[in-house]
Chain A
Amino acid sequence: AGASAVTSASAASKKVVIVGGGIGGATAAQYLKKMDPSIDVTIVEYNKDYYTCFMSNEVIGGHREMESIHFTYGKLQAKGINVVYDKVTGIDAAGQKVMTAGGKSIAYDRCIVSPGVDFKYEMIEGYSADVADSSIPHAWKAGPQTEMLRKQLVDMKDGGTVVICPPGNPFRCPPGPYERISQIAAYLKKNKPNSKIVVLDPKEKFSKFGLFMDGWKRHYGYGTDKSLIQWIKKSEGGTVTKVDVATKTVTCEAGTFKADVLNIIPFQKAGKIAFDAGLTNDKGWCPIDHKTFESTLHKNIHIVGDSSVASPMPKSGYAANSQAKVCAAAVASLLNGVEMVEPSWVNTCYSVIAPGDGISVAMVYAYKDGKIIKVKGSGGLTGAYDAELRKREELYAHSWFKNITADVFG
């Protein structure tokens, strides 16, 4: 009864427009509708088909089919969520409306933006979105590029060289490039054992470092002269600055490397629409209030997922899913003029280093003094090698995939 008194100003209007129907956007939509069915929820999404990035490395390694990472929006629509397939070209923060390439203008009371990442192609001379689409995929958004990279690996002769160039921090899915390297190594070991992988990295270290190194030693001879994987770090000249597209040759201080299959994952920034809507800071990401995920730059617009600055949470799918639920609780509370409950988040990222060898990193987060904090004592990495437990973690990784996609896409 008290609730209606507080909201009297903005009457009964409860319209939420969500920009981007990926992990953050689709989760927010479902949870908003579940919390308060009277909220009018619209997703504007560019693609009719969503392919999850998570488990796309298993497609590249040949361990699963593309169709198993394919999701659509039918179940969301069945729950009363409007889905508009269009590209958002601008957000009018003052006028509270979203504009689309198709010429629509959609009014909102609150807007939630979850556009994922965009790429800083310009940091590597010769690389571009067109090159990525046609011959040297980044495959950092799952879809046609995932299949292209898979096909290039299948077509490669035994004895070929795969060159992989991970990005610098911060980027989507910190363990992702190293899981990909592992998945490709597993494929080569079994099918093309005379081949090798050269990793040219602009970093000194990476996520789950000890676990990956240990796994690469166990499975791929890492550290010996027969190693399937060679990792050249920043201090060894691993930062790639240039690519010759025709010959698939990359240049860095360590030298020039000619690849048979080349995978360049560029440095990253917030999704383009976040820039166009004036939601980004000078580092190219979206600053937010850590409790409500409302932009600190524009009122009534919330940002979740990879584009947001929510550190210490990483840019992961689990984080985007967890943030979207907290954001939905904030938006539902704001629209109804009620106090928001104290938030809570979890993140977990699984990686499969080789068939039967899964690892993970996890953390529980709380809200304290205006910030997201790690709960002391919680979280951390998979422990020392135990064959039985590693096998379980692989199957739990696949369970995680089933459960989170059910949570996101219904």
Chain B
Amino acid sequence: MKKTKLIAGAVLAGSLLASSNAFAGMDRATMLANTCAGCHGPGGVSMGPATPSIAGISPDYFIESMNAYAMGDRPSTIMMRIAKGYSEADIALMADYFSKQKHLSAPQQADATLSTKGKKLHDKYCEKCHTEGGSLAEDDSGILAGQWKPYLQYNMHDFTSGNREAPKKMAKKMKSMYEKHGQAGVDQLIEYYSSK
């Protein structure tokens, strides 16, 4: 409940600022989001080779991710140190900002044969939650399509090794996928997402 309210407030503040035609001062969301560009790229579109793009991310998934990093619930190399620097209100403002930036797929090579196999696995095990081939932000489970390959590999490694806790049902699907197809299945899925 609390979270939704904050986001609504942020959207309102943003639209008020945008409505006046002269330069009316920078809004706080932009000020905050600008500090992330050095690592995530201008507007949250990462140039790679590994750091994820966060442009177009859904507000709920963003807020959940930042909180999980700050609490140490989600493994990270650096985000736990960054996420702890922001208040709940700051995070809500950035969630709004990044959700409004346009997601661009990472320009990278993908193996066509593997990605075709990956698509089959995806449709069977993952599509239910990561809809439209993992490209829809609104399903609040992260954008997988067009994400940088090493970042996808790191996440899959964290899930399969048990370092990152997956939502219960995802863990179940991931387990049955892994038991049947092993690391080859993981690789095919990654090729599929990075081909999109």
Contacts and interface: CB of A to CB of B under 8 A. Distances in A.
A375 interface: yes
Interface in B26-45: 26-28, 31-32, 34-42
A336 B41 CA distance: 28
A382 B77 contact: yes
Given A344-B32, A400-B38, A378 B81 contact: yes
Interface string A91-113: 00000000000000000000000
A341 B85 contact: no
B50 interface: yes
Interface stretch (B16-24, B117-125, B187-195): B16-24
Interface residues on A, range: 35 or more
Interface residues of B, number: 37
Interface string A325-369: 110010011001011111111101000000000001011101000
A403 B82 contact: no
Nearest to B25: A338
Given A403-B37, A403-B41, A340 B85 contact: no
A208 to B, nearest CB: 13
Contacts of A35: 23, 26
B148 to A, nearest CB: 8
Interface in B71-102: 77-78, 81-82, 84-86, 90
A391 to B, nearest CB: 9
Interface string B40-79: 1110001111110000000000000000000000000110
A246 interface: no
A395 B50 contact: yes
A407 B35 contact: no
Contact of B82 (A364, A382, A395): A364
Contacts of A338: 23-25
A322 interface: yes
A77 interface: no
B38 A403 contact: yes
Choose among B38, B39, B49 the residue with the greatest number of A CB atoms under 10 Å from its CB. Answer: B38
A36 interface: yes
A215 B181 CA distance: 38
A39 to B, nearest CB: 8
Choose among B40, B42, B77 the residue with the greatest number of A CB atoms under 10 Å from its CB. Answer: B77
Contacts of A375: 84-86
Nearest to A37: B23
A302 to B, nearest CB: 16
B51 A396 contact: yes
A253 to B, nearest CB: 39
A398 B50 contact: yes
A299 interface: no
Interface in B116-146: none
Contacts of A371: none
B38 A378 contact: no
Given A332-B25, A336-B24, 5 more contacts: A322-B34, A332-B23, A366-B85, A378-B85, A400-B39
Interface of A: 1, 3-4, 31, 35-36, 38, 318, 321-322, 325-326, 329, 332-333, 336, 338-346, 348, 360, 362-364, 366, 375, 377-380, 382, 388-389, 392-393, 395-396, 398-400, 402-404, 406-407
9 contacts: A336-B22, A336-B25, A346-B36, A362-B78, A392-B77, A393-B77, A393-B78, A399-B48, A399-B51
